[in-house]
Chain A
Amino acid sequence: EAQVTQNPRYLITVTGKKLTVTCSQNMNHEYMSWYRQDPGLGLRQIYYSMNVEVTDKGDVPEGYKVSRKEKRNFPLILESPSPNQTSLYFCASSQGETQYFGPGTRLLVL
């Protein structure tokens, strides 16, 4: 089944404790992206990647890192999480214009 998977689905952590949210797609898509969803703000793009080893900042990249060492994986790294990064995070992949979204990761930073 073609899909985008994210792990973990739920995460509670404390300020400053590094964490990684994994994202994997099995559709051989070149383009992958991370978004955060906050009430009243919709989805805002954090980072995107057009192919392996090619990444670029989206609208809200501060406090986040990404890497794209393999085509299928696009992890999101929070080196020192802060409470303002509490949010719902979505990974997406696409080949062309249509994006396919993962189920989301709900993160709470205390």
Chain B
Amino acid sequence: GDSVTQMEGPVTLSEEAFLTINCTYTATGYPSLFWYVQYPGEGLQLLLKATKADDKGSNKGFEATYRKETTSFHLEKGSVQVSDSAVYFCALSGPNYGQNFVFGPGTRLSVLP
């Protein structure tokens, strides 16, 4: 079945450092890809998404590019802030409406001042 693999962390960075969180997937067909963020004590929020190959999703300084050839969707940010400390989940959904969503295990990011 479909699956998502991401670096589990925890990842600890200093403020203004560069962030990369790797995500790779296995899926039949052409899934849509997502990054969700979970701040402490809250539910998940959509951070960004990409629906087809070579699409770049971006939001709040975060970016990720849908790479079909490497089946990857790595999350990047050029300069992290303390407020970015959270758990980040990579996810996919199948091409058919209502198909199951599949989440990766999540990566905890801590940004130190």
Residues in chain A within 8 A of chain B (CB atoms)? 4, 31, 33, 35, 40-45, 48, 50, 58-59, 90, 92, 96-104
Question: Which of A43, A59, A96, A102 is B89 in contact with, Cβ under 8 Å?
Answer: A43
Minimal beta-carbon separation of A88 from chain B (angstroms): 10
A28 to B43, CA, bound (A): 20
Asked whether B100 is an interface residue with its Cβ less than 8 Å from the other chain, the reply is: yes
The reply to whether A96 and B103 form a contact with Cβ atoms under 8 Å apart is no
Asked if A33 contacts B104 (CB within 8 A), the reply is no
Interface residues of B, CB < 8 Å — how many? 22
Known: A42-B104, A42-B106. Contact between A98 and B43, CB under 8 A? no
How far is A44 from B106 in the complex, measured between Cα atoms in Å? Answer: 12
Q: Dominant SS at the A interface? A: strand
- Smallest Cβ-Cβ distance to B106: which chain A residue: A42
- Most central of B34, B44, B45, B100 by chain A CB within 10 Å: B44
The residue in chain A whose Cβ has the minimal distance to the Cβ of B51 is A97
A35, A45, A90, A99: the one contacting B46 at CB < 8 Å is A99
A75→B103 CA distance, assembly (Å):
22
Interface pair B49/A102, CB less than 8 Å apart: no
CA distance A45 to B99 in the complex (A): 11
For the complex with contacts A42-B106, A90-B43, A103-B43, 11 further pairs of A-B residues with Cβ separation under 8 Å are A42-B103, A42-B104, A42-B105, A43-B103, A50-B97, A90-B44, A96-B97, A97-B34, A97-B49, A101-B43, A103-B42
**Does B30 have its Cβ within 8 Å of any Cβ on chain A?**
no
B101 interface residue per 8 A CB criterion = yes
Chain A residues near B89 (CB-CB < 8 A): 42-43
The residues in B between 52 and 94 inclusive whose CB is less than 8 angstroms from any CB of A are 89, 93
Interface: B98 (CB within 8 A): yes
